[in-house]
Chains A and B, each alone.
Chain A
C-alpha cells in the first residue's frame, strides 16, 4: 500500500476514532468502557514492543503499570501534584525501576530473564500488600479528580476523561510506530530474528534489550497513571495476573506486530467481558484459553486467518514464498 495513502488513512482513523463513543450511544457506560479500553490498550502497547519486536517475554509489565498507578496516587493525593506533574513523576520512577531491572537481567538468557520478571511481579505484589506506605491491603484512596487548572480543564467522569484517554492512546500508537521505524526498532528486530547475525552487524543485544525496556516501561506506566485517575483508588490488585494475561492476549490475538493489534485485542476482550460473560472465573478460563489457542494453533493471530487478503496490498514484486530459480 502506498505510504502516502496509508498515512492519510491513519490520520482519518485517528480523528474518527475520537467519536466512537458518541456513535455508540454516548451513555456513561459506553464512555466508561471506551476509557478502559484506551487505558488497557496503552498498557498493552508497552508490552507489545518487547514481545513482538524484541521477541522476549517480560512478565514485569504489571509492575510498570502499578508503578505508574501508585506514583500517581501518592503524588496527587498526598503531595497535591497535578496530572501533568504526576505523569512526569510516574515516568521518572518507572524509568528507575526499569533500569534497575534491566541492569540486573542484562546478562541473563531468555527464559531466566522471563522467570526473573515473573518473580519481580510476585514480589511487588507482596510489597504492595504489606507496605503501609503504599496503603497495605487497603490501598490508596483520595485521588483527586483530573484537573489541569492552567488549561481550565477538569474531568470528573468518564465522559470528560475520554479526550485525555484518547489522546494518550494516539500518542502511544504513534510512539510504537515511530519506534518500529527507528534504528532501535530495526536493531531490536535483528536481535529477535537472528541474534548472532545481529552481533556480526555490530549490534549489542544486551544494550538493545535494556533500551527497549526503557522505551516500553513509560508507555505502560502512563496507562497506570490514567487508571489511577479513572478509578480514584489504587490497591495491590493492579498487580493481579489478570492484567498480565490481558496484555499478553491483546498483543498476540490479532497477529504479531500489527499497529492496531493490541487496541483491537483489548477491545475484543472487553467486549467479551461485558456482553458474553458467565462470571468472573469462567471469564478467566475463556481469556486463558484464547491465549493458549492463539499461540498453539494460530501463530499469526486472527488476522492470520484472513492473511491471503493482505497480499493484495503488498508491494513485493515477487510471488511470496518461492525462491527465485537460479539462472544457469
Chain B
C-alpha cells in the first residue's frame, strides 16, 4: 500500500475517530463524567442502523435518526439511573455503573441481534471512487464532512449559545451553577443524551467500514480515551486535532507494521505521553 493511500486512509480514519470521541469530549468536559459503556453504545448504534436498513428495509437516512433516537433513550436512562451518584460526584460508582450498563447492552444486543458478524451496507459504502492510484468510498467522504460539520456546530454551540454557556458553568462549578439558577440535573441528563446521540451517529456513519459484532466496542473506548486525553480534556478543537493525528498514526502503523496491534500501539503512545505529562497535553478551563 503506498504512502498517499495511507494518508487518505489516515485522514478518513482520523475524522471517524474524532466523530466517535465527540460524545466524550462533551461528557468529560462538561459533566466530568466517564462513560465506560461508550463502546457498547457505539455497537448498539451500529446494529440498530444495520437492523433498520437490512431487516426493516428503511432507507439509510431514516435508520440514522432511528439509531440516534435509541442512543438518546439509552443515554437518558443511564443518567436517570445514576443521577444521585452524579450529583454526589461519586466517581467510583459512576464508572462501575456505566461499565455494568455496557455489559447489559452487550447481552441485550447479542440476544436481539444475534452474535454473528454483519456488514452494514449503505448507499454510500458501495460506491467507490478511484482517483489515480487512490481509492476512497463515498462513505468515507461522508464521514469527513459529517465530522467537520459536527465539530464546527459543537464549537459554535459551546462558545456562542446560551446552552453552551450553561454547560460551561456546570463544568466549572456545579454548586455555583445551581446557585445561579441552573437546573444542573437537566444539564447532566442532556449531556448524557447528547453522548448517546453522538455515538450513535458516529456508529451509523463509521460502522459500514468494517464488519460489526455485538461483542465489539472495546477498541472504540480506547480510541476515544486516547483522542480525548491527547486533545486535552474538554477541548473541542483538541479532540479534532488529536483524532486526526491518531487516525494517521493508526493508518500508517496498521499498514507498515501490524494491523492487529494498531490500537495497542496508539495506547502505548498515550501511556508515554501520560508518564511525561500526567495532566494530558492541553489544559482547558474547568478541567481539574
Contacts and interface: CB of A to CB of B under 8 A. Distances in A.
Chains A and B touch each other in the complex, with CB atoms below 8 Å apart: yes
B274 A57 contact: no
Q: Report, nearest first, the 7 A-B pairs whose CB atoms are least far apart.
A: A284-B107, A288-B104, A291-B100, A288-B103, A107-B278, A285-B107, A281-B111
Nearest to B108: A285
A289 B100 contact: yes
A287 B41 CA distance: 18
B-side interface mostly: helix
Contact of B92 (A57, A107, A118, A122): A57
Contacts of B107: 281-285, 288
A248 B99 contact: yes
B47 interface: no
Interface string A42-61: 00000000010001110100
Given A57-B92, A126-B263, A291-B97, A104 B275 contact: yes
A49 to B, nearest CB: 14
Contact of B100 (A51, A107, A295): A295
Name which of B34, B85, B107, B288 has the most chain A CB atoms within 10 A of its CB.
B107
Contacts of A107: 278
B95 interface: yes
B222 A119 contact: yes
Contacts of B103: 241, 245, 284, 287-288, 291
B267 A292 contact: no
Interface string B266-288: 01001100110010100000001
Contact of A108 (B34, B101, B278): B278
Nearest to B225: A115
B261 A295 contact: no
Contacts of A153: none
Contacts of B110: 281, 284
Most buried by A among B93, B104, B225: B104
A6 interface: no
Contact of B288 (A109, A244, A285, A288): A109
Nearest to A287: B103
26 contacts: A57-B92, A57-B95, A104-B275, A110-B91, A110-B92, A112-B274, A114-B95, A116-B274, A118-B225, A119-B222, A119-B270, A122-B222, A123-B222, A123-B267, A126-B264, A244-B99, A245-B100, A249-B100, A252-B96, A284-B103, A288-B107, A289-B100, A291-B100, A292-B97, A295-B97, A296-B93
Interface in A76-114: 104, 107-112, 114
Interface residues of A, number: 44
Contact of B104 (A114, A285, A299): A285
B184 interface: no
Nearest to B222: A119
A119 B218 CA distance: 8
Contact of B229 (A112, A122, A127): A112
B179 interface: no
Interface string B80-104: 0110110000011101110111111
A192 B261 CA distance: 36
Given A119-B225, A288-B104, 17 more contacts: A59-B36, A59-B99, A112-B280, A115-B225, A119-B270, A122-B218, A123-B263, A126-B260, A127-B261, A245-B99, A245-B100, A279-B111, A283-B107, A288-B107, A292-B100, A296-B81, A296-B85
